[in-house]
């Protein structure tokens, strides 16, 4: 055991001398080349990660530029495919959910991003007059409300979000209630203030409207009742509602910028 222990240092010294001699008389270029082939890509990847991590500002500028270019590319399609508006920014004039918005100032937009938190990114922002707490609709019905607006893009919270709540009413009986999101099912829950209110599957739900028309304008189609929930003794009557808008297939939408201009005599326009 002791002799073996003495041999180990001797072997290490000899190995060191051999390596020194090899470095002097035997070129190590092939070995270095092999090392560069193996480790070069790793170093390049590390450098790329470092450059990416330090380029946050540039990345944000590129994202903003991408959104602007996307908006320009879609502008022609928007103007051709949006019967609810005249120019890209104008007044609602056509059929669909905006039929009740005649005289409202609106701007057309496209959905360009979808968030896991039940939000959608639009390709218009403050540069087009968009601001927070504005109603967003599409051909089918309510899409949501603007929660953030930047210079060229804006973020819309869908009514199916867990944190969303929309004043609503039954279109037929005009019974008033509140719609909240059921994100795990992609549905809405309507809670009517009148616990004895008559409600059945097939009833249509529309927005109640907000003071000053923000965040929601009145009478925008929200969805249709698909199931009345049994809640004996509850203070409210609840029902599940399927949204009219297809939130997973959004494309062209309309942002309501403002209500109709007042008519002479202090009366407001239609809507």
Query: What's the token pair of residue 104?
Result: 């409202």
Residue 262 has pLDDT above 90, yes or no: no
Residue-level pLDDT at 28: 47
Residue 77 has pLDDT above 60, yes or no: no
Distance of CA 61 to the CA centre of its chain: 19
Residue-level pLDDT at 233: 72
Question: By mean pLDDT, which of 62-71, 174-183, 252-261 is the weakest?
Answer: 62-71
Q: Report the mean per-residue pLDDT for the chain.
A: 77
Domains of the chain: 82-261 (2.40.10.350)
Residue-level pLDDT at 128: 97
Rounded-to-integer distance, Cα 54 and Cα 45, Å: 14
What is the pLDDT confidence band of residue 81, given thresholds at 50, 70 and 90? very low
Mean pLDDT of 179-193: 96
What is the pLDDT confidence band of residue 270, given thresholds at 50, 70 and 90? very low
Residue-level pLDDT at 231: 73
pLDDT digits (tens, 9 = 90+) for 158-177: 999 999 999 999 999 999 99
Residue 131 has pLDDT above 80, yes or no: yes
CA torsion, ordered 180, 183, 188, 190, to nearest 10 deg: -40
| Cα atoms found within 13 Å of the Cα of residue 140, Cβ hemisphere only | 14
Rounded-to-integer distance, Cα 228 and Cα 236, Å: 12
pLDDT digits (tens, 9 = 90+) for 33-76: 444 344 444 444 444 454 455 555 565 556 555 555 554 554 44
Record the pTM.
Answer: 0.64
Return phi, psi of residue 172, to 5°. Answer: -80, -60
Residue-level pLDDT at 15: 56
Which has more confidence, 17 or 230? 230
At 139 the three-state DSSP class reads: coil
Element holding 72 (H helix, E strand):
helix 56-81
What is the pLDDT confidence band of residue 235, given thresholds at 50, 70 and 90? confident
SS (H, E, C) 78-137: HHHHCCCECCCEEEECCCHHHHHHECCEEEEEEEEEEECCCEEEECCCHHHCCCCCCEEE
Do 134 and 145 form a contact (C-beta atoms < 8 A)?
yes
Residue-level pLDDT at 54: 52
Distance of CA 36 to the CA centre of its chain: 44
pLDDT digits (tens, 9 = 90+) for 9-42: 556 556 555 555 555 555 544 444 444 344 444 4
Q: What percent of the chain has pLDDT over 90?
A: 53
Residue-level pLDDT at 82: 42
């Amino acid at each position: 055991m002791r002799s073996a222990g003495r041999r180990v240092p001797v072997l290490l010294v000899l190995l060191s001398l051999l390596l020194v001699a090899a470095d002097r008389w035997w070129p190590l270029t092939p070995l270095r080349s092999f090392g560069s082939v193996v480790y070069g890509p790793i170093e390049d990847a590390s450098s790329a990660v470092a450059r990416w991590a330090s380029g946050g500002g540039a990345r944000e500028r590129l994202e903003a530029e991408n959104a602007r270019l996307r908006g320009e590319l879609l502008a022609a399609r928007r103007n051709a495919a949006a019967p609810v508006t005249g120019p890209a920014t104008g007044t609602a004039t056509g059929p669909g959910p905006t039929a009740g918005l005649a005289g409202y100032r609106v701007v057309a937009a496209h959905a360009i991003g979808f968030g896991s938190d039940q939000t959608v990114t639009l390709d218009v922002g403050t540069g087009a007059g968009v601001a927070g707490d504005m109603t967003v609709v599409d051909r089918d019905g309510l899409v949501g409300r603007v929660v953030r607006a930047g210079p060229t893009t804006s973020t819309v919270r869908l009514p199916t979000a867990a944190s969303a709540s929309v004043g609503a009413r039954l279109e037929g009986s005009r019974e008033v209630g509140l719609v909240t999101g059921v994100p795990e099912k992609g549905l809405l829950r309507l809670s009517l203030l009148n616990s004895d209110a008559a409600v059945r599957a097939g009833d249509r739900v529309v927005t109640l409207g907000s003071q000053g028309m923000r965040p929601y304008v009145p009478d925008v189609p929200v969805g249709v009742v698909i199931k009345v929930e049994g809640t004996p003794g509850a203070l409210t009557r609840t029902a599940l509602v399927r949204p009219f808008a297809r939130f997973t297939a959004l494309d062209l939408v309309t942002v309501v910028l403002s209500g109709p201009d007042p008519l002479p005599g202090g009366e407001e326009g239609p809507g």
